[in-house]
Amino acid sequence: MKTKFLVLAAVCLGVASGAAQANDRYGQRPPVVLSPDLSAPWVTQLRQPGSVHGAGRIVSKKRVTRRAAVSRKKATRRVSVQRRDQARAQTMNPIYLPQIVSYQSTQKPGTIIIDTPNRFLYLVLGNGQARRYGVGVGKPGFEWAGTHRVSRKREWPDWRPPAEMIAREKRKGRILPAYMAGGPSNPLGARALYLGSTLYRIHGTNQPWSIGGAVSSGCIRMRNEDVVDLYERVGNGTKVIVI
């Protein structure tokens, strides 16, 4: 009788011990999270320490922190570029701002004369006067001279760089797009006056600080404010003389 009692006690202790071990084993089990995507199969995910849950997937906190840091860095860079551009624009030599000047010419009023060496564009007014604007002109090796007429006008023109320009810039490590829609970031700026059947234009720019320099591939650059003003003063057929 005593022996049976001891055996029964041992069995009870074993069961209790097994239950305790089972409780210990599963007591620390992470909670189960069901996929929030109801269109997907019902998949259970175990929440891992140090993780956060997104839409149906576990995302490391470190990854989230890293992404946030990258986003902050990009935002800071954009602000820095904007401040740099504003500072450059403010340092432009005031001599290149539009003004009425004395200008003797045999050309008829309404003629555009571009003085490449001095970086000025003149709109002849007559009576010994002209409206003068500062411009950016062709880089060394891209200067040109000649007489053309405005063949067409465009507001916020799109940009299709010529194949030779794309190849030239690619050799320098700069990849140009084959096409860019018109807008504030477009290098042609707010307006464009196309010259004859050439690839040259009088156009605006997204780099106003470049006015007064030899910076282009042959086109004549103006500040957006100035090219808009000129655009409204001249029409198709206007004579343009580049010297």
Q: Which of 12, 53, 148, 219 is catalytic?
A: 219
Average pLDDT, the chain: 80
203 has catalytic annotation: yes
pLDDT in tens, 22-74: 455 545 555 555 555 544 444 444 444 444 444 445 556 667 677 777 777 77
- The confidence score (pLDDT) of residue 34 equals 52
219 has catalytic annotation: yes
pLDDT > 70 fraction of the chain, expressed in percent and rounded: 68
Q: Which of 16-20, 68-72, 197-201 has the weakest average pLDDT?
A: 16-20
3-state secondary structure 42-87: CCEEECCCCEEECCCCEEEHHHHHHHHHHHHHHHHHHHHHHHHHHH
- The confidence score (pLDDT) of residue 66 equals 76
* CA-wise closest residue to 137 among 189, 83, 213, 195: 213
Rounded to an integer, the average pLDDT of 188-215 is 96
Rounded to an integer, the average pLDDT of 236-240 is 98
Round to whole Å and give the CA distance between 88 and 30.
58
Q: Which of 12, 53, 148, 203 is catalytic?
A: 203
Amino acid letter, residue 157: P
Positive or negative, the CA dihedral 154, 150, 224, 164 is positive
